[in-house]
Amino acid sequence: MQTETFLKYARVLTIGTLLLSAAILVVKYVAFPEAHLEWFQALPVVIVFYAVGLWSGYRLLKARKDGNNNFVRAFMLTSVIKLMIYFTLLFVFLWQWKEYAPEVIVLFGACYIVYAAIERLNLMKALR
């Protein structure tokens, strides 16, 4: 696999993760000041999304390099696994914390959709 392509993708994903995390905190403090979400409580979620993004990027870049029809299979597999991880975090991890307001959970879901879209867009750019 082309190491420089993966490193470029990882760098963009890192910057995007940090910027989106900062934006999430700003939106949370402006839109939902009464919600009980501190930055350190959201850190495990951000780390999991970042790790899954790196893993799926590596897997897709590797499948693309192999040249056979593994790319579509890898794309679908990583998408399904990402959704399973998302729903696991949402319904098991976050739902158990009673202090979370419903607005924070909705914000979490919206941020995941934006993060997944940005991550896939950057991955498609890296694959060109």
pLDDT at 111: 72
pLDDT in tens, 45-64: 777 777 777 777 777 777 77
For the CA atoms of 48, 86, 34, 99, the dihedral, rounded to the nearest 10 degrees, stands at -90
Residue 115 makes CB contacts below 8 A (sequence gap 6+) with 16, 17, 20, 49, 53
pLDDT in tens, 4-44: 777 777 777 777 777 777 777 777 777 767 766 666 666 77
Domain positions in the chain: 3-127
pLDDT in tens, 86-124: 777 766 666 666 666 666 667 777 777 777 777 777 777
Tell me the mean pLDDT in the region 67-75: 72
